[in-house]
Amino acid sequence: MGKKLVVFMSLLLVTMGCASNVNTSVTEQKNNHESNVVQEEPQEEVSAEEITENTDSEKLEVDKQKQELENLALEVNGKVYDESSQFSEYVTGVKTRLNTEEKVMALTLDACGGENGSGYDEELITFLIENDIKADLFVNARWIDEQYEAFVELAANPLFTIQNHGTEHKPLSVTPRSAWGISSTSSQEEIVEEIMENQMKIFGITGEIPQYFRSGTAFYDDTAVQIAEDLGVQVVNFNVIGDGGATFTNEEVSQEMLKAQPGSIVILHMNQPQSETAEGVEDAVLALLEQGFSFVHLNEFDLE
C-alpha cells in the first residue's frame, strides 16, 4: 500500500592522483587535486513533518477508494435488473479468451478456500517463479485467511496479479440454483456481497483493486454477469480446462494444456498440493515454450 520514504546517505570516496614529477609547481598540484575531486551533490533533506504529510495523504487516498467501493456497492444494490434467462459457465458477457491471434496464452490459477480447498501448491508456484511464467491468481477470501503470509508474498511478486474468486465461493444467481453441488447466491444483494466483500478484502491488504472476477464453480446467470460488470469487474472464465478442478493426472493436465490456441485462457488450481497439477503444468509449460508460446497477464489484452 503506502511506500515508506527512505533517505539514503552515501559516503563519497575521493580518489586523488599523485604527481609523478617532483618539479610540478604547487599551483599545478593544486589544479590536479581539484580536477580529481568529485563534487558532492547536496542531499535533499526531508523533514518529519513532510513524512507525516505524505503518510496522511496516502491514508486519505486509501480511505477515499474504500468509500468509493462502498458507494458503488450501494449504488448497484439500488438498481433494477431484468430477470435472468441463462445459467452456465458460458452465459452472455463471460470472457473466455484473449482477443488476439498472437501466440500468447494466460494461466489463471484458482485458490478456492474452505474446508477442503485451503491448501497451497508451493511446487506449482515455485516452478512458475523459477521459469519466469506469468499467471493471474483468482483468490477466495477464505483462502486468504488460511494462507495469509503466502498471499502477501504472492501479491508482491510482479509475475502474478491478484484477482477476485469470491467471498464464500458461490455460483452467482439472482434466484436459488446450484452447480457441482454448491448452492448459489439467491438475490441481487447476495451477489453484491459475494463480489464486494472480497474485493474490499484484497484492496485492504494489497492496495490494488482486482479487475477480474470468477465465481465459485465458474457458474453465473446473465443478470449476475451484468451486476459484476456494474461493480467494476470483468467476469473471466476459460476455454481450456487445465486440471479438472485439480482431479486430473499429470498426463491429463499436460494433454489438456497442450490443446491451447493463441489467446487461450487456461484454468488451473493452486490450492490442492496433493494433486498432480504441478507436475502436469511443468511438462506442458516447457513444451508450450518450445512451440513458441508466451505467457501473459489478462490485462495485457482485451478479452472476449
The reported pTM is 0.82
Q: What would you measure as the largest C-alpha separation in the chain, in angstroms? A: 99
Read off the pLDDT of each residue in 10-25 and give the average, rounded to a whole number.
34
Question: How far out from the chain centre does Cα 97 lie?
Answer: 18
Q: What is the 3-state secondary structure (H, E, C) of 5-49?
A: CCCCCCCCCCCCCCCCCCCCCHHHHHHHHHHHCCCCCCCCCCCHH
β-pairing, 212-213 vs 178-179, is: unpaired
Res. 10: pLDDT tops 80: no
Per the model's pLDDT, the better-predicted residue between 54 and 147 turns out to be 147
C-alpha neighbours within 13 Å on the C-beta side of residue 294: 10
* Residue 164 buriedness (CB in 10 A; 0-12 / 13-18 / 19+): buried
Alpha carbon distances (Å) from 303 to 218, 233, 298? 17, 12, 8
Per-residue pLDDT tens digits for 36-85: 444 445 555 655 565 566 678 888 888 999 999 999 999 999 999 999 99
250 backbone dihedrals φ, ψ, rounded to 5°:
-60, -35
Which residues does residue 135 pair with via DSSP β-bridges, in sequence order? 160
The dihedral sign for the CA sequence 164, 165, 168, 174: positive
Contact 211, 233 (CB under 8 A): yes
Span 133-146, pLDDT tens digits = 999 999 999 999 99
